[in-house]
């Protein structure tokens, strides 16, 4: 039974990051749409942000990091979103697509 509880706890912890991502993605989509980005482009950016977010969360280097401290979901999302925006909309990286602006929009 201890293994079942441990598995549920680990799954719940992973789901916490998923819940944060979904919450932040909704805010980012609104932010992008307000700044004139099409639904299609916003979806592409959010999809790429998701890949970057969860790849970093589950990377082998992260296993040691998780032993020391947990990732801040907001920082992880902001970094992932800024990288995706820079790839898809390089002209936005100094305005609404900057790390600071994304950080503001998800608060």
Q: How far is CA 4 from CA 10, 16, 25, 34, in A?
A: 10, 18, 31, 45
The string of pLDDT tens digits covering residues 37-71 is 999 999 999 999 999 999 988 877 666 655 556 77
What is the model's pLDDT at position 72?
A: 87
Phi, psi of 56 (to 5 degrees): -70, -40
Residues whose CB falls within 8 Å of the CB of residue 79, separated by 6 or more in sequence, listed in order: 52, 56, 99
What is the model's pLDDT at position 95?
A: 94
* Residue 8, SS3 per DSSP: helix
What is the model's pLDDT at position 68?
A: 58
Sign of CA dihedral 15, 30, 79, 46: positive
The string of pLDDT tens digits covering residues 74-105 is 999 999 999 999 999 999 989 999 999 999 99
């Amino acid at each position: 039974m201890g293994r079942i509880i441990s598995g549920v706890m680990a799954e719940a912890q992973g789901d916490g990051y998923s819940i944060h991502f979904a919450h932040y993605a909704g805010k980012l989509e609104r932010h992008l749409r307000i700044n004139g980005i099409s639904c299609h482009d916003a979806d592409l950016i959010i999809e790429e942000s998701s890949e970057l977010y969860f790849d970093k969360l589950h990377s082998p280097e992260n296993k040691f990091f998780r032993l020391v401290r947990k990732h801040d979901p907001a920082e992880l999302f902001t970094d992932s979103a800024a990288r995706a925006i820079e790839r898809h909309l390089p002209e936005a990286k100094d305005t609404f697509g900057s790390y600071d602006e994304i950080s503001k929009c998800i608060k």
